[in-house]
Amino acid sequence: MKWKKWPFVLVGIILLIGIAGSVLVLQRPGTNLVEIVQDGEVLYQFDLLQAEDQIIKVEYSGRVNTIEIKDHQIHMLEAECPDKTCVNAGWLNSAAPIVCLPNHLVIRFTNNSNIVDGVVG
């Protein structure tokens, strides 16, 4: 095999791992509980396995973050923040949280359940 082909092979392998990971949920840190935190206060908490597809809007100082839950995954759909780091972070799929620093917003996996009878906020 020519060395020039290696990058393509690698990309293919990475894609396959990514697909397998998203299907098998291998990357998740042992929990499906996700919380949306603003200024240290938990605004919402979801069990992603049970969560319906939905859009959540969170406001901070007049700036709105739009969070989407779809197919039992969560991400920042839109954000009125200058850097868009949170939007570019994509789907939450590891222990690394999605953070919107300008709007003091964090989306992360958690082990602390405040869910009562499966109903949240």
3-state secondary structure the chain: CCHHHHHHHHHHHHHHHHHHHHHHCCCCCCCCEEEEEECCEEEEEEECCCCCCEEEEEEECCEEEEEEEECCEEEEEEECCCCCHHHHCCECCCCCCEEECCCCEEEEECCCCCCECCECC
**Residue 98 found at the interface with Zn ion (CB under 5 A):** no
Decide: is 36 part of the binding site for Zn ion (CB under 5 A). no
Q: Is 67 in the site for Zn ion (CB under 5 A)?
A: no
Give the one residue of 34, 69, 98, 100 binding Zn ion; rule: CB under 5 A. Answer: 100
Size of the site for Zn ion (CB under 5 A): 4
Nearer to Zn ion, 32 or 66 (CB): 66
**CB closer to Zn ion, 81 vs 117:** 81
Q: Does 79 bind Zn ion (CB under 5 A)?
A: yes
Residues that bind Zn ion (CB under 5 A): 79, 81, 86, 100
